[in-house]
Structure 1
Amino acid sequence: MFGDESVDSALERIEQWQQSMAQRAEQAQTLAQRTSALTATARSRDDLVTVTVGPEGQLTQLHLDERTRRQSAAATARAIMEALQAAKDALVMKFEAATAETVGADSETGRMLNESLRRRLGMPLESSDEAR
C-alpha cells in the first residue's frame, strides 16, 4: 500500500512534529517562569508617588513622599493614577519583550498572550511598538 519512501517520509514528519511540540512546550514554560515574576515600578511626574505593579498589573507597593501632605487629596490621587498607569505601561513592555524572546511576538501564541494582558489591564490592543 505504501512504498518505503512514504513510510519514511511519514515517520520523519511525525518526528519533526514531536520535536516542534516539545520546543513549543519548553518555550511556553520559559515564558511562564519569566512573566510570573515580572514587576514594574514607576514614579509620578512630580516624583511624589512611586508605585510597583505585579505580573497581573496589581498594585504591590505604593510610596507617598511626605510632601504629598502639602497638596490636595485630588492632586495626590491624580499622581497615584498617573504612576500606576506608567507602571502598567512598563509591565506591558516587559511582558511583550519576554514574549518576543520566547514564543515570538508574531506567533499566534505571542499575539494572544500580549492581547490578553492588555485586555486585563484595560489598555489598547496594539503593541507597544505600534504605539510609538
Structure 2
Amino acid sequence: MLGDEDLDAAEHWVDNWESGLAERLRQTRELSQRVSELTVTVHSDDGLVEMTVGSSGAVTGLRLDERIRRQPADRTAEQILAVLRQATTELAAQVARVTEETVGTDNETGRAVIASFTRRIVSDDGHDHGRR
C-alpha cells in the first residue's frame, strides 16, 4: 500500500508533468507562429537581383534592376539561383534562431524542427529543393 508521502509525491510528479506539458505546448505554438511569420530578403552583390522568400521557402518577391539587361541571360540565371540559395540558407538560420529562443535546440523537438526544415528547404549542396 502507498502511504500519504507516496501519494503526495505521486501527485506532485503528476502536477509537474502536467505543468511541463502545458509549457511545451505553449512553446511549440509560439515556435509555429514565429516561423510562419518569417521572411528573408536578399540582394545580389551588385544589387541587380533582389529576392524575398517566405517561411515555406517559396519565393514571394523578385526584383530585377533594369541594369540586368546589360548582361547575358546565363549570368542573370546564375545570380537568381545564387540569391535563392542565400535566402534559403538565411531562412534556415532564422528558423534555428527562433527554435533556440522558443523550444531550445538541446532537445529532440528543437533538433527535429531544424532538421526537418533544413531537409525540406536547403539541401547539403545549398540548392533549393522545397518545391520540386
Query: TM-score normalised to the size of structure 1?
Result: 0.91
Report Cα offsets for 1:43-100 as digits up to 9, x if no partner.
1122110000000111110000001111111100000001111111111111111000
Structure 2 residue aligned with 1:12? 12
Query: 1:123 deviation in Å?
Result: 2.4
Structure 2: where are the runs of 5+ without partners?
125-132
SS where residue 62 of structure 1 aligns? strand
Q: Contact 1:92–1:117 (CA<8 Å) still a contact in 2?
A: yes
Structure 1: where are the runs of 5+ without partners?
125-132
Q: Contact 2:92–2:122 (CA<8 Å) still a contact in 1?
A: no
Query: TM-score normalised to the size of structure 2?
Result: 0.91
Amino acid at match of 2:5: E
Report Cα offsets for 1:101-125 as digits up to 9, x if no partner.
000012110100000010001323x
Q: Contact 2:88–2:122 (CA<8 Å) still a contact in 1?
A: no
Structure 2 residue aligned with 1:65? 65
Structure 2 residue aligned with 1:51? 51
Structure 2 residue aligned with 1:89? 89
SS where residue 47 of structure 1 aligns? coil
Q: How many residues get paired?
A: 124
Shift >6 Å, 4+ stretches: none
Q: What are the residue-to-residue correspondences of 1:1-132 with 2, within 5 Å?
A: 1-124=1-124
Distance (Å, rounded) in 1 between the aligned partners of 2:86 and 2:122:
13
- Overall identity of the aligned pairs, in %: 44
Two-structure CA RMSD over aligned residues (Å):
0.8
SS where residue 57 of structure 1 aligns? coil
Q: Contact 2:49–2:62 (CA<8 Å) still a contact in 1?
A: yes
SS where residue 111 of structure 2 aligns? helix
The 3 A distance-change label for structure 1 pair 94 and 122 is closer
